[in-house]
């Protein structure tokens, strides 16, 4: 596994910007009703490794099903660059859309398929 590094990321219009520290230890593509439609490629980080630099006021929150995940969209451009949620044990995590990270080539990462439709 690669050493963790810090990356900038955000939405398309730039209203939402953040910094995240990750080693891309787990990157998933999911077929649930949300990810399957949006094409998200996700890596998960602890809250301590994520900093929202700007744009909290630009975010719109969408929840569905069990309402454990806050799918956050930029109100201006509609891009979902990250989400807030919790693991089954209650640990709060941030799901970062790898496609929204500056300078990261998603094709260079090992991606695991997650059957979110079955959860």
Of 13-22, 66-75, 96-105, which gets the smallest average pLDDT? Answer: 66-75
Torsional class of 22: left (φ above 0), alpha (ψ -120 to 50), beta (otherwise): beta
C-alpha to C-alpha distance for 83 and 93, rounded to whole angstroms: 9
Cα atoms in the Cβ-side hemisphere of radius 13 Å centred on 11: 22
Structural domain that includes position 100:
5-118
**Taking 70 as the threshold, does the pLDDT of residue 68 lie above it?**
yes
Count structural domains, the chain: 1
List, for residues 11-33, the tens digit of each pLDDT value.
Answer: 999 999 999 999 999 999 988 88
Q: What CATH number does residue 94 fall under?
A: 2.170.150.70
C-alpha to C-alpha distance for 10 and 80, rounded to whole angstroms: 9
Percent of the chain predicted with pLDDT > 90: 71
The pTM for the full model equals 0.90
* Strand 50-54 versus strand 17-22 pairing type: antiparallel
């Amino acid at each position: 596994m690669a050493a963790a590094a810090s990356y900038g990321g955000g939405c398309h219009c730039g209203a939402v910007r953040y910094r995240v520290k990750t080693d891309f230890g787990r990157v998933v593509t999911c077929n649930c009703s949300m990810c399957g439609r949006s094409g998200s490629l996700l890596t998960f980080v602890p809250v301590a490794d994520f900093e929202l630099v700007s744009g909290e006021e630009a975010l719109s929150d969408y929840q569905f099903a069990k309402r454990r995940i806050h799918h956050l969209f930029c109100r201006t451009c509609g891009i979902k660059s990250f989400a807030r949620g919790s693991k089954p044990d209650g640990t709060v995590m941030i799901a970062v859309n790898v496609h929204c990270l500056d300078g990261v080539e998603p094709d260079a990462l090992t991606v695991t398929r997650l059957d979110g439709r079955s959860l």
